[in-house]
Amino acid sequence: MPSHNPLVAVYPGSFDPITNGHLDLIQRCAPLVDKLVVSVLRNAHKHPLFTLEERVAMLRSVASPFPNVEVDCFDGLLVDYARQKQAKLLLRGIRAISDYEYELQMALMNRRLAPEIETMFMMAGEAYSFISSKLVKEVIGLGGNISGLVPPSVEEKLKQRFLGRE
Q: How many C-beta atoms surround the C-beta of residue 3 within 10 A?
A: 4
Is 95 among the catalytic positions?
yes
Q: Which amino acid is at 67?
A: P
Strand partners, 120: 91
Tell me, yes or no, if 28 is annotated catalytic. Answer: no
| 133 catalytic residue (yes or no) | yes
Of the pair 134, 163, the CB lying nearest ligand PNS is at 134
Smaller CB distance to ligand PNS: residue 20 or 110? 110
Which residue out of 4, 46, 112, 165 is catalytically annotated? 46
Q: Round to whole Å and give the CA distance between 89 and 91.
A: 6
Q: Which is nearer to ligand PNS, 18 or 30 (CB)?
A: 18
What is the closest distance, in whole angstroms, from the C-beta atom of residue 13 to ligand PNS in the complex?
Answer: 3
Q: Nearest approach, Cβ of 15 to ligand PNS (angstroms)?
A: 7
Residues near ligand PNS (CB under 6 A) are: 12-14, 41, 77-78, 106, 109-110
SS3 17: coil
Per the annotation, the verdict on 112 as an active-site residue is: no
Active site (catalytic) residues: 22, 46, 95, 133
